[in-house]
């Protein structure tokens, strides 16, 4: 099997940090209430005039610069998002224009909720198998502040804005296993629109929790079965950064040490499709990811979707 190799990563977040204390001045909440239930201490929220495409371009430029490749070498550009600037054109097409990407490649958005980046990995892997070009640009980018109801304390304290990007290529014989799925559910987590009225996030918190604590360990076990590896042979598990309680529950159900699960929701909140690529870039920058390590990424989100990828860094 030809597996994906990460050549580089990048991330971009707004300049404005909004702490839990800041949120308590907007809605009836407190730092203690948010931290104990979610593990979140702050999030980045966009300022006036800042767009989702701005965040995507910032992350993509960083990843492309680090990869050291020309835009002409790209086979495809995909943006995973559930909060694009427009229903059409796609954020990917606007990234294409801003970065001067070639016109003879597919550029499109993909929406699988918070699982989007993992759906995107399998999508670009498919394009690379049929393209004469060697590289793919995959971005997970969200501007969730555009769809947050700031009067709903059960949701507005959870989410943040940001983008993460990766430049990828295929390598023969490289470790790669994936698992993707969807339950076809529109009642637990959804964003209404486009259409008349405001587009806002709606969420059944307990329903999301029940789904996530089932989906995360089940997906991990599926990847283990496909690969023939054990969790002891996995160096890092990088889950979607939705809620610390979900990750702790998954850790117990998998009988895996919590230290194996990378977490950064304290600093970013839930950035949906951006959360896993932001985490990968942060880990890469800190030297936590070393060549040859075995990495498992798992996401879950609206749909209800789930996805996982097991690969070699």
| Integer Cα distance of 206 and 111 in angstroms | 23
Neighbouring CB atoms inside 10 A of 234's CB total 19
H helix runs in 72-196, sequence order: 91-99, 116-130, 153-156
Q: Is the dihedral of CA 147, 151, 154, 159 positive or negative?
A: positive
Q: CB within 8 A of 222, min separation 6: which ones? A: 179, 308
Half-sphere exposure of residue 231: CA atoms within 13 angstroms, side-chain side: 21
| Integer Cα distance of 44 and 162 in angstroms | 7
| Integer Cα distance of 172 and 212 in angstroms | 33
Catalytic residues: 114, 240, 270
């Amino acid at each position: 099997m030809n597996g994906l190799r990460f050549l580089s990563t990048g991330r971009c977040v707004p300049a404005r940090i909004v702490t839990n204390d800041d949120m308590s001045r907007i809605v009836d909440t407190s730092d203690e209430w948010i931290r104990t239930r979610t593990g979140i201490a702050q999030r980045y929220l966009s300022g006036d005039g800042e767009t989702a495409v701005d965040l995507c371009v910032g992350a993509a430029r960083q990843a492309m610069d680090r990869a050291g490749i020309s835009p002409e070498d790209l086979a495809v550009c995909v943006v995973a998002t559930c909060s694009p600037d427009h229903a059409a054109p796609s954020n990917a097409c606007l990234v294409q224009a801003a970065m001067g990407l070639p016109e003879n490649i597919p550029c499109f958005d993909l929406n699988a909720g918070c699982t989007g980046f993992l759906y995107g990995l399998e999508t670009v892997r498919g394009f690379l198998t049929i393209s004469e070009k060697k590289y793919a640009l995959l971005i997970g980018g969200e501007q969730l502040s555009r769809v947050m109801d700031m009067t709903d304390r059960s949701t507005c304290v959870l989410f943040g804005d940001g983008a993460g990007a990766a430049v990828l290529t295929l390598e023969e014989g490289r470790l790669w296993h994936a698992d993707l799925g969807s339950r076809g559910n529109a009642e637990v987590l959804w964003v209404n629109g486009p259409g008349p009225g405001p587009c806002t996030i709606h969420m059944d918190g307990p329903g999301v929790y029940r789904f996530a604590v089932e989906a995360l360990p089940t997906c991990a076990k599926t990847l283990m079965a496909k690969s023939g590896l054990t969790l002891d042979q996995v160096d890092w598990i990088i889950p979607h950064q939705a809620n610390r309680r979900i990750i702790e529950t998954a850790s117990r159900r998998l009988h895996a040490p919590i230290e194996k699960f990378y977490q950064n929701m304290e600093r970013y909140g839930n950035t949906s499709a951006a959360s896993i690529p932001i985490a990968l870039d942060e880990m890469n920058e800190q030297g936590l990811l070393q060549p040859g390590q075995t990495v498992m990424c798992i996401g879950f989100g609206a749909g209800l979707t789930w996805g996982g990828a097991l690969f070699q860094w």
